[in-house]
Amino acid sequence: DTAVSQTPKYLVTQMGNDKSIKCEQNLGHDTMYWYKQDSKKFLKIMFSYNNKELIINETVPNRFSPKSPDKAHLNLHINSLELGDSAVYFCASSFQFPGVGWERNTEAFFGQGTRLTVV
């Protein structure tokens, strides 16, 4: 069973187009993320959602809009694609436990990635 699945695996599109990447997790996690990995392999968090609510929104152009219809899904919609958006986008999920003193397993599980190429 795939824990975190994202589609499509590859996406080639022209500049100016709008595209979406879908992500689903079947781990029962309450927190989901989008990361961008550039050509130098640097992983940078873009968004974090906990129970369908945005909790982190790093400095990301507002052309990127995450949508979480339920806590098992976090989709990424990108408007007016630019050449610089070409990268691999990873979805991830984890548990977020409450407060200090609680033992937690904060392992983040990642999807296989979506390689976006803007031409």
Binding status of residue 51 toward other proteins by CB under 8 A: no
Residue with token string 């390689």 = 115
Stretch that binds other proteins, among 14-22, 41-49, 65-73, 74-82 (CB under 8 A): 41-49
Do 79 and 16 form a contact (C-beta atoms < 8 A)? no
Binding status of residue 47 toward other proteins by CB under 8 A: no
Minimum CB–partner distance for residue 55 and other proteins (Å): 7
Do 93 and 2 form a contact (C-beta atoms < 8 A)? no
62: number of Cβ within 10 Å = 7
9: number of Cβ within 10 Å = 13
Do 8 and 21 form a contact (C-beta atoms < 8 A)? yes
The only residue of 21, 90, 116, 118 in contact with other proteins, by rule CB under 8 A: 90
Binding status of residue 49 toward other proteins by CB under 8 A: no
Residues that bind other proteins (CB under 8 A): 4, 31, 33, 40-45, 48, 50, 55-56, 90, 92, 94, 96, 100, 106-113
